[in-house]
Homo-oligomer: A and B are copies of this chain.
Amino acid sequence: MSKNAKILEEARQVSAKPPAVILCEPQLGENIGTAARAMANFGLVDLRIVNPRDGWPSEKARAAASRADHVIDNVRVFDSVEAAIADLTFVYATTARSREVSKPVRGPDEAAEKVVSIGANGAATGYLFGRERWGLNNDEVALADEIVTLPVDPDFASLNIAQAVLVCAYEWRKTATSNALPFRLSTEEHPSATKEDVIRMFEHLEGALDTANFFRPPERRPHMVLTLRNIFQKAELTDQEVRALRGVIAALEKRTPRPRKDEVEDGSAGMVVDSDTGEA
């Protein structure tokens, strides 16, 4: 594993105020903790819980949060959803089933775009998640602006709260950092080879193969040259890789050629089968 793991700065730059996460009557402290951990992975820190069944604080939550103490330490507890969302201006309610009310339904990516665009102006937003067993009731959904639902396989819909939090948080961060990743393939460290260098390598290879009598019969040469050139083009070679291949070709050129079986056994003229390549 790379010791000098450089992180791209753009992966740290979020363009919008992160949303709050509100858990409505969470039953298990462990789920509060794994939700906190999921949030922290994607830069969310504002966790609010409404009437947690087992009260607060919760050692199970802290343990399950792993290192996300900064989230656990700042959890706020409310006795109603209304109170928990009072300061927010836009709220998504997560539901797994359609509701009778005519509220827009979004996927997590669409929801993230909405939340980021509102949060880019510093406005406060939030995602509301329901109870482990039966989610949110219709009155609670009515307190939100829109619905977010995940594109699960309908025949096996069994996401738990923390998993739903994770996906929503992931989409939020992806949008808020404009798709930045912690690292990318660095063209500084791995500059691409120019076509001149690549073509020179091709010519080197083809010359070496000519010398080794690889292209037999001669009329197969053009097709095989195209095939070989295509292989290496698909590899999108870097400078370093072209140099490595030139070294390989040069090393093989220098090798004492071993006698070919077919030339020893059958000195006849005409078609010769290349026992190495199967080419006739």
Query: Which residues of A approach B to under 8 Å, CB–CB?
Result: 1-2, 5-7, 11-12, 37-38, 40-43, 66-68, 96-100, 102-105, 107, 109, 134-135, 137-138, 149-159, 163, 166-167, 170, 173-174, 177, 179-186, 189-190, 238, 240-241
A42-B152, A149-B182 provided; 10 other pairs, C-beta below 8 A? A1-B134, A12-B154, A41-B152, A105-B184, A107-B174, A150-B170, A151-B173, A151-B174, A153-B173, A167-B167
14 contacting pairs across A/B (C-beta < 8 A) = A1-B134, A40-B158, A41-B153, A41-B157, A41-B159, A41-B163, A43-B156, A96-B182, A98-B183, A104-B185, A107-B174, A151-B177, A151-B180, A154-B182
Residues from chain B with Cβ under 8 Å of A107 in the complex: 174, 179, 181
Hey, which chain B residues are within 8 Å of A159, CB to CB? Answer: 41
Do B68 and A149 touch across chains, with their CB atoms under 8 A apart? no
- A168 nearest CB across to chain B (Å): 10
Q: Does B5 contact A97, Cβ atoms closer than 8 Å?
A: yes
When distances are taken between beta carbons in the complex, the residues of chain B under 8 Å from A109 are 174, 179
Given A103-B185, A107-B181, A166-B166, verify A11-B154 contact (CB < 8 Å). Answer: yes
Q: Of the candidates B5, B182, B238, which one forms a contact with A151 in the assembled complex, judged by CB atoms under 8 Å apart?
A: B182
A30 CB, nearest partner CB in chain B, Å: 13
Give the chain B neighbours of A240 by CB distance below 8 A: 102
* Beta-carbon nearest neighbor of A174 in chain B: B151
Check B183–A151 contact: CB distance below 8 A. Answer: no
A103 to B177, CA, bound (A): 23
B98 in contact with A6 (CB, 8 Å): yes
Q: How far is the CB of A159 from chain B (nearest CB, A)?
A: 5
**Closest residue of chain B to A134, judged by CB?**
B1
Interchain CA distance A150-B173 in the complex, whole Å:
10
> How far, in angstroms, from A96 to B173 measured CA to CA in the complex?
16
Contact B154 A7, beta carbon cutoff 8 Å: yes
Distance (Å) between the CB of A36 and the closest chain B CB?
A: 11
Q: Which of A156, A163, A183, A186 has the most CB of B within 10 A?
A: A156
Give the interface centre of A1, A99, A104, A174 by most chain B CB atoms within 10 Å: A1
A19 to B66 alpha-carbon distance, docked (Å): 30
Query: Cβ of A241 and Cβ of B102 under 8 Å apart?
Result: yes
Select from chain B the residue with minimum beta-carbon distance to A97. Answer: B5
Given contacts A102-B241, A167-B166, contact A182 B152 (CB under 8 A): yes
Give bound CA distance, A138 to B151, whole Å: 34
Contact yes or no, B181 A149, CB < 8 A: yes
Task: Compute how far the CA of A181 lies from the CA of B153 in the bound complex, rounded to whole angstroms.
Answer: 9
User: Who on chain B is nearest to A11 by CB?
Assistant: B154
